[in-house]
Chain A
């Protein structure tokens, strides 16, 4: 125990000596947490629309003004031909083209039906899908207006109507930041913990100081614990700062219990640090450690369900997503902060992190050899 105490003192000193690393550990995540959630906004409100009106009739004008006043679309151009409109899509200025064919009004009124063509820049699927859906809905509304104008009341039986009401739970205003801030906090914690611990042992290897430790009667587990505990403390501080920023800057106050949140964060950090140490024991140089850590952390980040929904992934990818510790932590942080889920609701995920922590740290201790 005394040995561990000395080791810890040494590690803490080492960390606090290098001011630029300290700044990196605390300032960088804080700044990113303040700024980045504002950038991660997926409200599809400003869909850019180019319009080709070949009809120039009252009806086509009415349709265009209806679309323009809906609040979802920015009409960026009224083009003379489809070809011209296509240029706006090529330049990324427009996401959608609506083309009103010549004879639109006449055909609609005389022949009772008329086609309208939409062209969607389908490279970005979400925007294409949502924009197309909004536009179809507006056109449907417009269609209803037209019908109402031409069909005398009483001539038809009233059509059957299913009235759909929808409500959004846990985030009634659909604030995107409530969704992003907890997730980004987890990612930043992952970056700090993962990279720092991955670099650590290998640094001693590269500089040669590890030999000195290896010739001392320090046990493997003491050495690893000595590395782990300081980073764990730093991680918890970063997590606390993050929660404060979420509260002060974004007004996010956890609905659920802070104790559960901290318990989970504590276990998660142990798992993550074990992962970093494991990489460290397998690498020869800091560059190698860094790239391996980069590889996994990027998978953690992109497959964590923060940016794209896990449910939509193919089954094998979903399996990978659920194998990574980040996925569970993001899920749990959201559940506790936004939905107020309790310890009982997150037991499954907690057990998973515990298992992860034991396996990774055990592996790291086993793989760290004192003779090298």
Chain B
């Protein structure tokens, strides 16, 4: 036991001696969480919209004013023709166009029926759908306005409540996601490099000839990173709460306990990568290039997991951050207790034990 403590202390010295790496370790996640917290949101705003108005009458003016007053759209200078509109689409200057045919107001007043055409740039299909929905909604409002004189009977009114996020804070969903993502990549990469580095520099031999069990070597290597990662987590949490206004509705203690579990899981994954790779370069490429995009996609904060084809949904199950993200969301945003996250917790514990087991088995006592 005393030996282990001495060993851990040595590893701590190693880590803390390298000031620049430390600065990077704390500076980068801080900057990232701030940046993404403010910048990312799933809302669609400020859409560049072209108006092609062949009618130019009072009704089209009224509709245009209505569109202008919503924060969703940036009205571009009215384009005069279809050709102008097409060019604007190809140059990427507009995302959508709204077209009023000639005689719009006349049709509206005399025939009680008029037409509007919306064209959306569906190279981004989701935004296109959202834009079409917004515009249809605004036009629907206008239609109700002109029909208001004849109040309609048999009306169903809907009342919508926004659960957990009454202010529609766009970053609320992204903070737990980015948190899971950063912790996962940073922890895994750090550990994956630590052992392979000793192999590469040749210091591993020294460790292995010492009368020290391999498992203790691994533990000693992992402890400083566990501490660092927990500090990182605490820092991000403080920023999220006090700067980005993300609430912590549930128990902070539970949140820390679950985060520790998740970090242990990532450290084990890092150890595994470290064991099966031969150089720092390969270890880092594997943990960053190989894991970054899959982690972003399979954590579930960007794209709904249930939309994925079944085989990919199964794949998402083996990504630890997916479970951690669910836990963070439940505790932080929904204010739920352990009863709501026990399943996810069991999965993470299983992963940590499994990964550690495989790492230990693969941990070669003799080097090639």
Contacts and interface: CB of A to CB of B under 8 A. Distances in A.
B123 A39 contact: no
A57 interface: no
Interface in B127-184: 127-130, 132-133, 135-137, 139-140, 142-143, 146-147, 150, 152-166, 168, 170, 172-173, 178
A245 interface: no
Interface in A279-335: 284-288, 290-295, 297-299, 301-303, 307-309, 311-314, 317, 320-321, 331, 334-335
Contacts of A314: 38-39
B306 A286 contact: no
A285 B281 CA distance: 11
Contacts of A147: 152-154
A215 interface: no
Given A157-B150, A162-B116, A169-B122, A21 B130 contact: no
Given A288-B20, A317-B39, A125 B293 contact: no
A36 interface: yes
A341 B92 CA distance: 9
A322 to B, nearest CB: 12
Contacts of A291: 21, 24-25, 28, 186, 189
A24 B278 CA distance: 13
Nearest to B134: A133
Contacts of B67: none
Contact of A124 (B173, B189, B193): B173
A302 B40 contact: yes
Contacts of A20: 277-278, 282
A41 B45 CA distance: 21
B293 A32 contact: yes
A93 B282 CA distance: 40
B122 A150 contact: no
Given A90-B334, A160-B108, A164-B116, A118 B160 contact: yes
Interface string A109-145: 1001111111111111111111011011001101100
Contact of B154 (A127, A143, A298, A308): A143
Contact of B32 (A120, A156, A295): A295
Contacts of B140: 162
Nearest to A347: B91
Given A24-B285, A195-B284, A122 B122 contact: no
Nearest to A191: B289
Nearest to A104: B156
Given A32-B293, A291-B25, A171 B284 contact: no
A290 B286 CA distance: 12
A90 B198 CA distance: 46
A181 to B, nearest CB: 11
A116 B158 contact: yes
Interface string B47-68: 1100000000000000000000
B89 A166 contact: no
A112 B123 contact: no
A112 B153 contact: yes
Nearest to B31: A295
A168 B42 contact: no
A301 B92 contact: no
Contacts of B40: 302-303, 307-308, 313
Contacts of B24: 288, 291-292, 295
B48 to A, nearest CB: 7
A285 to B, nearest CB: 7
Contacts of A18: 279, 281-282
B216 interface: no
Contacts of B161: 117-120
A335 B44 CA distance: 20
Nearest to B166: A122
Contact of A164 (B112, B121, B139): B139
Nearest to B329: A123
A116 B289 contact: no
Interface in A155-188: 156-172, 174-176, 178-179, 184, 187-188
A297 to B, nearest CB: 7
B123 A178 contact: yes
A314 B35 CA distance: 11
Interface string B217-243: 000000000000000000000000000
Nearest to B190: A287
B336 interface: yes
Interface of A: 18, 20-21, 24, 28, 32, 35-36, 38-46, 48, 86, 89-92, 108-109, 112-130, 132-133, 135-136, 139-140, 142-143, 146-147, 150-151, 156-172, 174-176, 178-179, 184, 187-188, 191-192, 195-196, 199, 203, 284-288, 290-295, 297-299, 301-303, 307-309, 311-314, 317, 320-321, 331, 334-335, 338-341, 345
19 contacts: A18-B282, A24-B289, A28-B285, A44-B129, A90-B340, A91-B340, A120-B163, A129-B43, A147-B154, A162-B140, A168-B120, A168-B128, A191-B288, A191-B292, A290-B288, A295-B32, A301-B292, A339-B90, A340-B90
